[in-house]
Amino acid sequence: MARNNRKITIPVGIGYGVTDIMGGGAFTVIGAWLLFFYTTFVGLSPVEAASIVAIARIVDAIVSLFMGSFTDHFYKNYLGKKFGRRRFFLLIGAPLMLVYALLWVNGMNFGFYLAVYLAFEIIAAMVLIPWETLPSEMTKDFNSRTKLSTCRMFFSALGTFLATFIPGLLINYFGEQDANAYLINGVVFAVLFMLCVFISWKVTWERELTPEMLVELEKPGQATTLLAKFIALGRLFKDYGSTLKVRAFRKHLAIYLLSFTAKDIYNTVFVFFCVYCLNVSSSLAGTLLSMSIVGLPVTLLAGMAIIKYGPSRLYVFAYSLMMLCLVGLFMVYQFPGGNKVTLLVILAAVYQVGRCVLEFTPWNVFPFIPDIDEMITRQRREGLFAAVMTFSRKTTVAIATFIVGVLLQAGGFVKGSQAQPESAVNMIATLLFAGTAGLLILALWQALTFHLNKRTHRIFVDEVERLKAHGAKKDVDAQTRRVVEDLTGYDYDKLWCEEDVNARGAASPLPRFNGEA
Higher pLDDT among residues 476 and 237, named by residue = 476
Collapsing DSSP states into helix, strand and coil, what is residue 4?
helix
Helix axes 454-468, 478-488, angle to 10 degrees: 100
The mean pLDDT value for 333-338 works out to 81
**Residues forming beta bridges with residue 507, ordered by sequence position:** 501
Query: What is the pLDDT confidence band of residue 275, given thresholds at 50, 70 and 90?
Result: confident
DSSP string of 155-198, one letter each residue: HHHHHHHHHHHHHHHHHHHH-TT-THHHHHHHHHHHHHHHHHHH
Measure the CA–CA gap between 178 and 272, rounded to whole angstroms.
Answer: 17
- Residue 217 pLDDT > 80: no
Name, of 219-223, 258-262, 364-368, the range with top average pLDDT.
258-262
- pLDDT, residue 101, reads 92
Q: The pTM is what?
A: 0.72
Query: Is 516 a residue whose pLDDT tops 50?
Result: no
> Which of the four pLDDT bands, split at 50, 70 and 90, describes residue 503?
very low
Burial of 59 (0-12, 13-18, 19+ CB in 10 A): middle
pLDDT band, very low/low/confident/very high, at 510 (cuts 50, 70, 90): very low
Model confidence over 107-124: pLDDT tens digits?
888 999 999 999 998 898
The pLDDT tens digits of the residues spanning 285-328 come to: 888 888 878 877 887 888 888 888 889 999 999 999 999 999 99
Contacting residues for 231 by C-beta, under 8 A, at least 6 apart:
none
Q: Where in the chain is the domain with CATH 1.20.1250.20?
A: 18-208+238-452
pLDDT of residue 211: 58
511 has a pLDDT exceeding 80 = no
Please state the rounded mean pLDDT for residues 254-275. 91
> b/e map of 474-505 (b: 16 or more CB within 10 Å)?
eebeeebbebbbbbbbbbbebbbbeeeeeeee
Coil, helix or strand at residue 507? strand
Alpha carbons 500 and 97: distance in angstroms, whole number: 45
Q: How many helices (H) and strands (E) does the chain have?
A: 23, 0
Question: Is the Cβ–Cβ distance between 240 and 387 less than 8 Å?
Answer: yes
User: What local confidence, expressed as pLDDT, does residue 222 receive?
Assistant: 52
Q: What percent of the chain has pLDDT over 90?
A: 26
Separation of alpha carbons 344 and 413, rounded Å: 24
CATH of region 18-208+238-452, choose from 1.10.10.10, 3.30.70.260, 1.20.1250.20, 1.10.287.610 = 1.20.1250.20
77/54 Cα distance (integer angstroms) = 34
- Which of the pair, 194 or 379, is modelled with greater confidence? 194
